[in-house]
Structure 1
Amino acid sequence: MKTIITAIAAAALLATAGAAAAQDAPAVANDATATPAGIPMDSAWRRAVYAQAHQHFQHPSWGWRHSERDYLFGMAVAQAEGLTVDPDVMFAAAFLHDWGGIEPFAVAGVDHAVRSVQLAEPFLKEAGFPMEKFPAVRAAILGHMYDKEPGGPEAIAIHDADALDFLGALGAARLLAATGDRPDYDQALGRIERFAADIPPRLKTDAARRMAEPRVAAMTEFLATVRSETPDGARP
């Protein structure tokens, strides 16, 4: 429980700190071969994507840190499930899938995944990405949300990775941070409860379902503790 509360507190700090906090993150030099988390950075286009994410994807819930986790979770799911995935596709899709939902890139009335594809295609082409692989990147971006039906191994891995990052202490922290300037966190608590119930049945791989079990338990425990700490008749 202490770990969960610590994660929630960290999310609150991120929500108030905004872009200034994100800029404290370690940068990756132009000649670096891997990120601090061990993600290979062995091509110019990967370094360009990573730099773009660090510079522009500043959001406590949907920013570059979430993208980084999606890549790591996705590769872990693929390995555990026995999926053959292209690491280049995984990298591009993981780091660019939410681009279209982040200001100032979002467009009213356009689904954020569709907008992300619109932005990612010319950017990757200019960066030197092997564009024969872009159809798989497009499929992974368009299918990344938990309520979508992904097509292809990379899309399945990114779909389940993105869903896993909505669960557990990390997921609760993201959902609380996403409340932004709301006067309460009723919406976030409702989403924590709903996601804990709705997301696991939508996972596509046995590996992700196994990974989800302790995360759902953590969310359930957190909600129960919030209720137990709230005085009778009062609102959390």
Structure 2
Amino acid sequence: MGIMVKAIAAATLLLAAAGTAGVQEAPAIATVTATPAGIPIDSAWRRAVYAQAHDHFRHPSWGWRHSERDYLFGMAVAQAEGLPVDPDVMFAAAFLHDWGGIEPFAVAGVDHAVRSVQLAEPFLSEAGFPMEKFPAVRAAILGHMYDKEPEGPEALVLHDADALDFLGALGAARLLAATGDRPDYDQALGRIERFAVDIPPRLKTAAARRMAGPRVAAMSEFLATVRRETPDGARP
């Protein structure tokens, strides 16, 4: 029995040491050169923006992973449409556009996009962002929601990218994750159904409309499956 106890203790120490080594070897944001999806982080201001988003924008629906997808979708739309967009503007706007809607940064009664601009301007200035480009960042943040009218190429593609991330299986997952402490997900299911109808006509580019088709079909099939799996007379 004593030999077994010693063996277990030794194994525990080895596992603890391995775990500590793993933590120590994890790269810090300051040394990262790209996001997990390969978006370049090749300047001090980009590192500051990414660190702010990665460390503080932790939300299953509006967090930094959503921002990363918005950048990628936006650049894909821009390429498909042949639109000349500034990657710096796209990076700053995509990663900071929902800042003002995330606790503890949100302010009651202030539109989250307006609040995001209020927070982003001094932050980017201090981080060393080329502020002559900030008007385009402001326009992109203010116009990113699907019910807004974007002004400028970066605003246009961020608008459509953000709308696309409300669609499809990803969109359904985001809306369900946003239920928070609600006692049910009736609101989320209602939004999935409504967004599948309301968002596609508001897309500004042909590329985004093409991308939306399979996503809308996925949402509709998801809702149909939920209904099929729900017993007669019961609520999902």
Same fold (TM over 0.5): yes
Equivalent residue number for residue 4 of structure 2 = none
Equivalent residue number for residue 79 of structure 1 = 79
Instruction: Give 2:191's aligned amino acid.
Output: R
Percent identity, aligned pairs only, is 90
Aligned-residue offset at 1:35: 1.8
Instruction: Give 1:39's aligned amino acid.
Output: I
Equivalent residue number for residue 209 of structure 2 = 209
Contact kept, 8 Å, 1:98 with 1:116, in 2: the verdict is yes
Equivalent residue number for residue 22 of structure 2 = none
Higher relative contact order (CA 8 A, sep 6+): 1
How has the CA–CA distance of structure 1 residues 135 and 173 changed in structure 2, closer, same or farther, with 3 Å as cutoff? same
Equivalent residue number for residue 235 of structure 1 = 235
* Residues in 1 aligned to 2:63 and 2:39: alpha-carbon distance in whole angstroms: 17
Structure 1 alignment gaps of length 5 or more: 1-25
TM-score (norm 1): 0.88
Equivalent residue number for residue 180 of structure 2 = 180
In the alignment, structure 1 residue 111 sits paired with structure 2 residue 146: no
Q: How many residues align?
A: 211
Please tell me whether Structure 1 or Structure 2 has the larger radius of gyration of its CA atoms. Answer: 2
In the alignment, structure 1 residue 136 sits paired with structure 2 residue 136: yes
Listed one character per residue, the Cα deviations across residues 186-209 of structure 1 (whole Å, up to 9, x for unaligned) are 000000000000000000000000
Contact kept, 8 Å, 1:160 with 1:203, in 2: the verdict is yes
Instruction: Give 1:173's aligned amino acid.
Output: A
TM-score (norm 2): 0.88
* Residues in 2 aligned to 1:28 and 1:37: alpha-carbon distance in whole angstroms: 17
Aligned-residue offset at 1:34: 1.8
* Residues in 1 aligned to 2:201 and 2:110: alpha-carbon distance in whole angstroms: 27
Moved over 3 A (4+): 26-29
* Residues in 2 aligned to 1:207 and 1:27: alpha-carbon distance in whole angstroms: 36
Equivalent residue number for residue 58 of structure 2 = 58
How has the CA–CA distance of structure 1 residues 29 and 58 changed in structure 2, closer, same or farther, with 3 Å as cutoff? closer
